[in-house]
Amino acid sequence: MPLIVEDGSIVANADSFQLVSDLDAYHTKYGNTTWTGDDTTIKEPASHRFMRWLVSQEGRMQGRRVSVNQTLPFPRYGMVDLDGNAISSTTIPTGIINLQAEGSLIELVTPGTLQPSLARGDMIKRKKVVAGPITTEKEYFEGAPGGTSYEILMDLLGPFLVATDTLILN
């Protein structure tokens, strides 16, 4: 299904900030050969999966949606750039547009990477200590989070978040 591009004017049913041809141009510019080819049947779904992830990040973003009728988290009121300058409420920031290209590539290479289903278990440990008549149990988290960190996504999304922190995808 062709992508419907949001341009800042609240486009009905928008599901993208770029056309596949725009995503192609971005990846050509940066030499991302994994994205090459004319197969929109895998590029469009990759973009849709990324946009679903972006919507899931909205609660961490500055400002609020311009309209209750818009389908994507941009455009937004109340956003500022890194220098403290107001971002127009009709603008889709370049960083967000580039974020779509990078995130769509991640989803093209490994579908579902940005929103995997995770099983609980391996990182939760339980320790039982018996000291005479007293028994104590303690549950704790052991080790690093079981996800992959995509620094390019944080570099591009970070300036639009309320508080910048490390983005770990589980």
Measured over the CA atoms of residue 52, residue 54, residue 57 and residue 60, the dihedral's sign is: negative
For the entire predicted model, the pTM comes to 0.79
CA pair distance 50, 134, nearest whole angstrom: 51
Structure tokens at 46: 């990759």
Which pLDDT tens digits describe the chain residue by residue (170 residues)?
789 999 999 999 999 999 999 999 999 999 999 998 889 999 999 999 999 999 999 999 999 999 999 999 999 999 999 889 999 999 999 999 999 999 999 999 999 999 877 665 555 666 777 777 777 776 655 555 556 778 899 899 999 999 645 555 55
Domain ranges of the chain: 20-117+151-162
Measured over the CA atoms of residue 149, residue 154, residue 157 and residue 158, the dihedral's sign is: positive
Can you give 117-161 as a three-state secondary structure string? CCCCCCCEEEEEEEECCEEEEEEEECCCCCCEECHHHHHHHHHHE
